[in-house]
Structure 1
Amino acid sequence: MSPEKYLRYLVPSVLFGTQRTKQILQATPSDDITRTDAERTQITVYNYDAANLHQTELKAVHESFDFRDNDQVSWINIDGLRKSDVETIGLHFGIHHLIIEDILSLHQRPKMDEVEGTLYCLLNMLYYNDKQHAVEQEQVSIVLGKNFVLTFQEDPSRDVFDPIRDKLRLATSKLRQRGADYLCYTMLDLIVDNYFIVMEKLGDRIEHAEEEVIRNSNTRSLARINYLRKELIVLKRNIAPVRDLIGGIIRSESELLDDRTTKYFKDVYDHIIQAYDLSENYRDIMISMQDLYVNNVNLKMNEVMKVMAIVTCLMAPATVIGGVFGMNFDVIPTAHNQWGFYTAVGAMLLIPVAMLVMFKRRGWF
């Protein structure tokens, strides 16, 4: 076993997760765009209809301009954001400058906007870091237009859209038969379904923490409870607004949304409601776990105090007898008797034994 695994608990900030608290509290939106341009950008285009699929890797943003006005559905995915690239593609595809600012901004609250013929969805993809046991998030922006969907992601190394890519390669898939709004639905559905994967892993950690609290409540158990509650804050912060996002799409009367697709968005809404309820259940479990920890600590303290009280009571007769026979008087009963010492010692032993029997009969321990 590596000694660093245990030495890190000597640092209070690590033990109680104060660094994680700082990360959560710093996640506040700002009007100033502080995003650093990505060193590497990857632009992928999937242009398809029921009969054909063309997958293209673009070297520059301006190469995507030809995919705006065509009879096929175009999915343009940009991994790694640069301000100039986002502004360029946004200007050509008719994206409002406020939406461009939201795409480039950091730590935005999940939301849905409908501006000038485009439908914009901003939400976070969630991942669970098995090494740090933390919920990580990546902001993704989805812009739905007429026959095109633009997606903007921060990290090109991971996303949850691989099932979409697999379905697009199947000519018989429903995704190939439908329009851009169905593609947007599929993306939102995958993001929401991935929430359950993260919650399942977090639920395992909560279960282990609960077992530890029941078996042995100590300071480290309290630290784990505190840390898990912070991860639930991150989870709930991302799940709760998505409910309003999907609800806004269902209520929308945009021409970009086909009536047949609305029922699919309702299915996503049911999933996000279920995820929200599950996060609330996790929160209730954590509150109960913290109460259980406090009760266990109080129970241990009561057990200690009870033992100390019993010991004090058992020592009281010996203390009294020793005090009486230790007084500096000339005349003390049995002081000069050859059996006096043995009588006093016998009384010191017999009286506590009698007290133990009485305590046991009364059920005091």
Structure 2
Amino acid sequence: MRKTVNKILPIPNVLDALNPFKVKKQRIMNFNPVTGVASREPAQASKITVFDYNSNACTEKVLQSLSDVFPYLESSHKSWINIDGLRKEDVHAVCEHFAIHPLIEEDILSLGQRAKMDEIGERLFCLLPMLYFNSDASTIDQEQVSIVVGANFVISFQEDPTRDVFDPIRDKLMLPGSRIRNGSMDFLCYSLLDVIVDSYFVVLDKLGERIELMEDAVQHYPNTRTLARINFLRRQVFLYKRAISPVRELMNGFLKSESDLLEDKVTKYYKDVYDHIIQCNDLADNYRDMILNVQEMYHTQLNLKMNEIMKVLAVVTTLMAPLTLIAGIYGMNFHNMPELTAKNGYFYTLGGMGILLIIMILIFRKRGWF
């Protein structure tokens, strides 16, 4: 199976001055080698949380040992196993015990994977990005989430053990009579996908706020710093669009799947998430067009500013041209110029030049040239 490996190349420091948010820029070069090797660094911290539940009760446990997860394969209850922080040995042990195909294991450990959905054996697998908006740097942080669905369990793998968007799911599992408690494992999978896609709207709203602020900045401060901020924001919109676009295919895979793990009555819920991701893609396209319009507005403002400068220079040049002509005529050193012998010729000349200047200014003002 071909994997995508990301190679990070730093951009020269001379460009750091154009980064208004003080974020170190990187250029990502993607290439697909013939053989894929998982290059993930093992997580420094790992946390395993299990929600063991049925329609009558729900128990949350934080496991201290990986081997404590294994009995949940044969549990009579339904189980959601959430593994925060990925280590190759732990992922391999879990996949081997829960009969998860090695190809799925490779996808879980790989970096930079495109969102996808697979059905291998008696397991459903999906992988997609979880997005966060970093308000301090105005950047989009991305975390890869993998979900494996079995007959009586759902296992989710997360990269970052410090944050996620699954708190609403945890709260609902603790509520007696909630749909998640009474639903099957495919409904739990739907719920996880639903909160992830809903978080995309939160990030999108933050990007929209930044675009609105950028529109005001272009109107008042059309300078190189503003242009750098526009380009930076356009890159974030592009990264957002690239991250969420494949999620549509992922949801379409669930809708077309004929797996026994997916009940017909749950399909309409996946259709709702499918509609949401289409809406996200449409809004992302709109925001991309908006940021391009902001960039065009910047160039328009810059051209208007330049036109104003050229207009002022042209008026000044036009006003000074007759005066320069008169000064040049009387600056010639001919002995037979009659005005040279006039007693007050100097003052008459200056006065005439001043009157001419005033007349020209009045004419230009009347024509609305300035």
Counterpart for residue 248 of structure 2:
243
Structure 2 counterpart of 1:47: 52
Please say if residues 16 and 226 of structure 1, whose CA atoms lie closer than 8 Å, have aligned partners that are also in contact.
no
Write the distance in 2 (CA, Å) between the matches of 1:125 and 1:20: 22
Aligned to 2:295: 290
Q: Is 1:346 the equivalent of 2:347?
A: no
1:110 is matched with: 115
Residue 14 and residue 181 in structure 1: after superposition, are their counterparts in 2 closer, same or farther (change >3 A)?
farther
Match of 2:6 in 1: none
3-state SS of the aligned residue for 1:146?
A: coil
Distance, in Å, in 2 between the alignment partners of 1:343 and 1:48 is 105
CA–CA distance in 2 between the matches of 1:102 and 1:202? 30
The 1:40/1:148 distance shift into structure 2, 3 A limit, reads same
Offset from partner CA, 1:135-179 (integer Å, 9 cap, x none): 101111001111110000111110111111111111111110101
2:16–2:25 Cα contact (<8 Å) kept: no
User: What TM-score, normalized by structure 1, do the two folds share?
Assistant: 0.93
Q: Counterpart in 1 of 2:189?
A: 184
- Secondary structure (helix, strand or coil) at the match of 1:182 reads helix
1:146 equivalenced with 2:145 (yes/no): no
d(CA) in 2 for partners of 1:84, 1:202: 38
Indicate if the aligned counterparts of 2:16 and 2:24 stay in contact, CA closer than 8 A. Answer: no
User: Deviation at 1:12?
Assistant: 3.6
Identity %: 49
Q: Which residue of 1 aligns with 2:19?
A: 16
- For residue 315 of structure 1, what is the aligned residue in structure 2? 320
TM-score (structure 2 length as normaliser): 0.92
CA distance in 2, matches of 1:228, 1:296: 19
What are structure 2's unaligned runs of at least 5 residues? Answer: 1-12
Name the counterpart of 2:136: 131
1:14 and 1:269 mapped to 2: Cα distance? 42
Matched to 1:213, the amino acid is V
What root-mean-square deviation, in Å, do the aligned CA atoms of Structure 1 and Structure 2 show? 1.8
SS of equivalent residue, structure 1 residue 321: helix
* Gapped regions of structure 1 (runs ≥ 5): 1-9
Moved more, 58-67 or 281-290: 58-67
Q: Deviations over 1:220-254 (max 9, x none)?
A: 10011011011112211111111111111111111
> Contact conserved, 1:44 with 1:57, CA < 8 A, in 2?
yes
Residue 68 of structure 1 is matched in structure 2 by 73
**C-alpha distance after superposition, 1:182-202 (max 9, x if no partner):** 000000000010111111112
Tell me if the contact between 2:91 and 2:105 (Cα under 8 Å) persists in the aligned partners.
Answer: yes
Deviation at 1:27, TM superposition (A): 6.8
Q: Paired residues, what number?
A: 355
Aligned residue in 1 for 2:3:
none
Residue 103 of structure 2 aligns with which residue?
A: 98
Instruction: Tell me if 1:258 matches 2:239.
Output: no
- Residue type matched to 2:173 in 1? L
